[in-house]
Structure 1
Amino acid sequence: AETRNFALRDKKGNEIGVFTGKQPRQAALKAANRGHKDIRLRERGTKKVHIFAGERVKVKKPKGAPAWMPNEIWKPKVKKIGVEKLDEI
């Protein structure tokens, strides 16, 4: 599978950032880890907007983590809400 680009859109439809991933969920997790809650990702080259609800939670670092990793890390979580079709970009 090819790496795809997903443009992050705000509520007004402005594209405010680009996240990459093979699946929309992978890009959504990256956006959630930056602190975005209401995640609307438009796939580049299409008119599909994937909608996710995102959050990030503090968790203890996993077993076998390298020593330099802090004891608590942010872990992103996303839930897919649906897909919208745009009339025009």
Structure 2
Amino acid sequence: MAREDGKRNFALRDVDGNETSVFSGNTPRQAALKAARRLEDVAKTEQQAKHHEIRLREKGTDKVHIYDAWAWKSDSPDDKPDWMPGNITEANVSKKGIEHLQS
């Protein structure tokens, strides 16, 4: 279900179906990228990054969006603002499909 600002909420599901976190975004991919940046296994480069499957259930629906996600550390850009740390976590995702939960 969309909020007034057009964003939707997506619950991160673990392998047992427990929903541990909620990420918002205009699209499922946007929420998946936010979730991917919080992966525990963050590599030094994108090529070394291990792929993890993440599942996001769209709140108010029975849709579960499934993604391969990976994250890596990167240097901040040269024109970064003062508050930004020197290293940042970048991420990427690739959609695998959608499942519908059984009621």
TM-score with structure 1 setting the length: 0.87
Say yes or no: does 1:43 pair with 2:58: yes
Identity of aligned residues (%): 52
User: 2:8 & 2:86 partners in 1: Cα distance?
Assistant: 33
- Name stretches of at least 5 consecutive residues in structure 1 with no aligned partner: none
Task: Specify the code of the residue in structure 2 equivalent to 1:79.
Answer: S
Moved over 4 A (4+): none
**May I ask how many residue pairs the two structures share in their alignment?**
88
Pairwise CA RMSD: 1.6
TM-score with structure 2 setting the length: 0.77
> How much does 1:65 deviate?
1.1
SS at match of 2:73: strand
Task: Specify the code of the residue in structure 2 equivalent to 1:62.
Answer: P
SS at match of 2:96: strand
User: 2:23 & 2:83 partners in 1: Cα distance?
Assistant: 26
User: 2:10 & 2:80 partners in 1: Cα distance?
Assistant: 30
- Name stretches of at least 5 consecutive residues in structure 2 with no aligned partner: 41-51
Moved more, 71-80 or 40-49: 71-80
> How much does 1:21 deviate?
0.6
> How much does 1:55 deviate?
1.2
Aligned to 1:82: 97
> How much does 1:53 deviate?
1.1
- 1:20-66: CA deviation from partner (whole Å, max 9, x where unpaired): 11100111011111116321000011111000111111112123212
Say yes or no: does 1:8 pair with 2:12: yes
